[in-house]
Structure formats: structure tokens, C-alpha cells
Structure 1
Amino acid sequence: MKKVLTIAFLSLIGTIHAQKWQNSFDEAVDLANKENKPIILVFSGSDWCAPCIRLKRSILDSDEFKSYAFSNYVLYNADFPKKKKNQLPEEKLSVNKTLAEKYNPKGYFPLVVVLDKNETVLGKTGFHVKTSPKKYIATLNGFVR
């Protein structure tokens, strides 16, 4: 019984401290307004774009970024997978396409767009292999006024 409670407790702590990617862009905007935080909008091709995969592994999934993002950003991933098994529901894909038309008309992948709570673009960046989570966070923070 102690093991079960310990595992449940550790899972809860991990959930509390992990970054939370919003399921919808509307949820992200609502949360950004509620918590007065900028939105990090990531355009990715999760199953075909090598730089997108590297960005996720080396920056977005790092403990440093997760910890910082939880307290300072609202996160939304506008993903465009190509493999049939990874396809998004049509409604979410439609929202992502609309976001791409507005914020990523040239179709760059990966593209990270920093928005204020009113959906105004504060800055855009991509991914450079030789960057660290700390440097990436500094870049993102440099866009926030």
C-alpha cells in the first residue's frame, strides 16, 4: 500500500511541476489572459521534421525548460504530422492551419512564436542545434516586454 501511495504522490508532484501544453488554442488564450502570461506557439512537424524533433528533445522536453515554462508561459503546439497513425482530429488540424496562415505564412518548421495575451506577435525564432535550454529561454524572454 505504501508503494502505491508513494507512486501516486510522485506522479502528482511530477504533474504539478511539468509544463502543460494546452489542448486547444482557445484554452491557451483564455489561460494567458487569466494568468497574464505570454503564449509560446510552436509550429512543428512531429513525425517528419528533424529540426522539430531535435527542438522537442533538446529544449522543450528538458527539465530546465519544463520548470521555467510552467511558471512563465502558456504553451500550444500547432503540430502538422504526416504519418497516418499520427493524424490530428480534423477540428484541431483546421485550427492549426488557421494559426499557420496567420503566424507562419511561409511555412517554416520549426517556428516558435511568442504572443502576448492579446495574440499580438512579440517575436519569432527557430531552432539552432548549438543552443541550450537556458539560451533558448533567454531568447524567448527577450521578446516579452
Structure 2
Amino acid sequence: MKTLLATILMVVFSVGFHAQNRLETAKKTAAENKELILLNFSGSDWCVPCIKLHKNIIETEDFKKLQADHVILYLNADFPRNKKNQLSAELKKENAALADQYNPKGLFPYTLLLNADGKVLKTWEGLPSENALAFSNEIRSVKEN
């Protein structure tokens, strides 16, 4: 009986704590690996600068090397509008909580570089003017300092 009650309580509490699960997991992993967290707010199917950011920076080899070299963990808080691209209710809730905490003005794209505690180290409003290599080098520079 105690095992059943404990299991039920764990399920109930895990549902309540899931709203920040990706960020909390990223913080833990970033702390363990001495990485930074890059959090990007995007509208993947309606925001033209967001689409360009992903195509010209996020999807490039220079950016992917940041992840492979354990410089950053990448989190995307997406807010698609098209019905076919809708996220699960759970992910929508999590992205909304991230927006409440880090993007209260509702800017798109909006990119933040965070330390493992979630402290904002740098922000980019809109599409960064740098190319992928310069953007990646800027992130590496912040990590080194």
C-alpha cells in the first residue's frame, strides 16, 4: 500500500514540475560539463527573421561545433502558428513559462546566452548581424571570459 501511495505521489508531483523540465535538465547538464545554455525564442513557421536565424546560423556546422565541443547546450522555445506545426500541450506550457521568465516582451527571434544557473550573460534581439562563424566565436569569447 505504501508503495502504491508513493508511486501515485511521484506521478502527481512530476507532472507539476515538468513545466521547466528542459531548462532544469539543461542547467544540470551545463553545470556538470561546464557549458553555457543558448535559449532561442522563435516562431518557426511565421517569423521570417527566425527562419533565417535557424537556416543561416543554428543549422550551420560552425554552430553545431559549439554543441559538439561542449561550449553550449541549445534550447529552442518555439511558438508556431500553423495548425500542422503545433506542439504538445506540455511543450506549449513549458515554452510559455520560459517566455514569462526570459522573454516577457514577446520578441522574436530573441536569443539568450545563460550560465548554468540560468543567469543571462548576453542577449540578441532579432536576427544577429553576424554570420555563423562570428556568432559562434562571440559565444566562445563569452565562455572564455
- For Structure 1 versus Structure 2, the TM-score category normalised by the shorter chain is 0.7 to 0.9
Counterpart of 2:56 in structure 1 is: 58
The equivalences for 1:97-116 within 5 A come to 97-116=96-115
Q: Deviations over 1:10-64 (max 9, x none)?
A: xxxxxxxxxxxxx922322221122121100000000110000000000010111
Residue 45 of structure 1 corresponds to: 43
Q: Which residue identity is paired with 2:74?
A: L
CA contact (8 A) 1:24 1:92 kept: no
| Structure 1 Cα separation of the partners of residues 138 and 44 of structure 2 | 22
Partner residue in 1 for 2:82:
83
1:26 counterpart residue number: 24
> Any idea what SS the aligned residue of 2:76 has?
strand
- What is the distance in 2 between the residues matched to 1:142 and 1:124? 14
1:93 is displaced (CA, Å) by 0.9
- AA aligned to 2:66 is Y
TM-score by length of 2: 0.77
SS at match of 1:65: helix
CA distance in 2, matches of 1:129, 1:27: 27
Unaligned 5+ residue runs, structure 1? 1-22
Residue pair 1:32, 1:38 contacting (<8 A) in 2 also: yes
Indicate if the aligned counterparts of 1:46 and 1:80 stay in contact, CA closer than 8 A: yes
CA contact (8 A) 2:57 2:63 kept: yes
Q: Distance in 2 between matches of 1:41 and 1:74?
A: 8
Query: Alpha carbon RMSD of aligned pairs, Å?
Result: 1.8
Asked if the contact 2:109/2:127 (under 8 Å) is kept, the reply is no
Rg larger in structure: 2
TM-score normalised by the chain length of structure 1:
0.77
- 2:40 match: secondary structure: strand
- Matching residue of 1:36: 34
Q: Give the whole-Å Cα distance in 1 for the aligned partners of 2:128 and 2:32.
A: 34
Counterpart position of 1:70: 68
Structure 2 gaps of 5+ residues are 1-20
Residues 114, 130 of structure 1: alpha-carbon distance in 2 compared, 3 angstrom cutoff: closer
Q: C-alpha displacement at 1:142, in angstroms?
A: 4.5
CA distance in 2, matches of 1:142, 1:100: 26
**What is the distance in 2 between the residues matched to 1:93 and 1:128?**
23
